[in-house]
Amino acid sequence: MGAGVAMLDYNNDGFLDIFFVNGAALRDPMPAGYQPEKTDPRYWNRLFRNNRDGTFTDVTEAAGLQGRGYGMGVAVGDFNNDGLPDIYVTGLGRNSLYRNNGNGTFSDVTGKAG
C-alpha cells in the first residue's frame, strides 16, 4: 500500500529532496497490541537527496530516517523555529517527529516533544 510523500529541502542547498513513508511487515491475524517494526531495510522510510542533475541518492541510513512502525503519512514543517524543515510521520498506532539537526541527519524527538 502506498503511503505519504513529501518534498523538502532538508539540506538547504536550494533543491527539493524527496521523503517517502513506507509500511512494515504485518502479521495475519494481527495480535492485539502488536506494533509492526521496520527491522528489514525494504520497509524503511526513504530520504532521497537531489543531486542537482536530475538524479537522486538514497541517504536514508546516513540521515537516521529509517523509521519505526507502519508509516502512513508525512508532514513537513519547522516545529522548533530553527529555519530547518523537520519531518512528522503518522503511523499505525504511533507517530514520530524527526528534528533536522542541520548537518544532514535527523533526531527522533517524539518523546521529548510530547
Percent of the chain with pLDDT over 90: 68
Q: What pTM does this model have?
A: 0.90
C-alpha–C-alpha distance, residues 68 and 47, integer Å: 14
Task: Name the residue ranges covered by the structural domains of the chain.
Answer: 5-27+35-113
Contact 89, 74 (CB under 8 A): yes
Taking the CA atoms of residue 35, residue 40, residue 44 and residue 48 in that order, the dihedral angle to the nearest 10 degrees is 180
CB-count exposure of residue 18 (10 Å: 0-12, 13-18, 19+) = middle
Cis peptide before 29 (omega within 30 of 0): yes
DSSP letter for 4, please.
-
Cell of 13: 542547498
Contact 18, 45 (CB under 8 A): no
Encode pLDDT of 56-97 as tens digits. 999 999 999 998 888 899 999 999 999 999 999 998 878 999
More confident residue, 98 or 39: 98
